[in-house]
Amino acid sequence: MAGMEYKFDVIEKKWQAQWKKDQAYRVSNVSDKPKYYVLDMFPYPSGAGLHVGHPLGYIASDIYSRYKRLKGFNVLHPMGFDSFGLPAEQYALDTGQHPAVTTEKNIATFKQQLDNIGFCYDWEREVRTSDASYYKWTQWIFLQLFESFFNKQTQKAEPIANLRAAFAKEGNSAHPMPNVQHHRTKFTADEWNGMSQADQEDILMQYRLAYCGYGEVNWCEGLGTVLANDEVVNGVSERGGYPVVKKKLRQWYLRITEYADRLLEGLEKIEFSDAMKEMQTNWIGKSSGAEINFAIQLPPQPP
């Protein structure tokens, strides 16, 4: 019957405008209600707009957010955009446009599409990884890691200045070097104080949580960058299909192995599914090696 027709183009447009005017999904930091945080994976805002995989995941979290809100929780449900890095750079090269322009345009398209679907996002909490106000904090975190080492005695990160002071007083007897392949794994206070500044900095680099070193990486000449293992498919880059080769390069690393136990212990304190915990455990990748001594019988020596 014509009278029973659901005129979605009229009804939804009207109410979405009303929700936006009333700030229906705005969340206050100050509330007597119990807090609940529902976080979606931030999409990369490509020029093609949303694909079916985006709402497939977002619909479930949107339903859950509404459910918790109706159960009396103060629900924080933000949305953001993973808009910085290789995809934006490659798109700019392919189309001859500045990435800042295309990224802004693509984000506007994504937001319009997400709003058309009717998701309950608090857009005042929007995050864009391409904004200086965001990535300045990733730069800040890197500096904190660079100026820190993991103290195995206290089981926490401490300023590298503490390590300098300890070395000057007692060498590294209380702080074994993480890099057992280094040519100088042990030294006394006198030896430390007698080193050149360059040698001291080389030693400290073996302790820093963010450190520079040489390692074999997936190098893609076509993209001009290093790729993670999951970005390489059958010997070529997932993006663009360019050849990828193994190459030894100097690059930055995070000394995850030093605080692997802390990360694993932390997994037991959060409400993740067993499947997610197993995934994170494998990513942390703690492993224990073995040392074997073989008795060798030497042949008799000639007289």
Residue 3 confidence (pLDDT)? 62
CB 261 within 8 A of CB 268: no
Q: What is the structure's pLDDT at 1?
A: 52
The domain segmentation of the chain, as residue ranges, is 8-130, 143-209, 211-254
DSSP 27-88: --S--SSPEEE--PPPPP--TT---THHHHHHHHHHHHHHHHHHTT-EEE---EE---SHHH
Q: What tens-digit pLDDT sequence spans the chain (303 residues)?
A: 556 788 888 888 899 899 889 999 999 999 999 999 999 999 989 877 888 888 888 999 999 999 999 999 999 999 999 998 877 887 787 788 898 999 999 999 999 999 989 999 999 999 999 999 999 999 999 999 999 999 999 999 999 999 999 999 999 999 999 988 898 999 999 999 999 999 999 999 999 999 998 889 999 998 888 898 888 999 999 888 999 999 999 989 999 888 889 899 999 998 889 999 999 999 888 888 888 888 888 888 887
Alpha carbon separation from 7 to 4, 18, 118 (Å, rounded): 9, 17, 16
Give the Cα separation of 185 and 179 in Å (integer): 8
Q: Give me the pLDDT at residue 259, please.
A: 87
Residue 159's beta-bridge partner residues?
Answer: 148
CA dist 160 → 140, 184, 255 (Å): 16, 19, 14
The CATH homologous superfamily to which domain 8-130 belongs is HUPs (3.40.50.620)
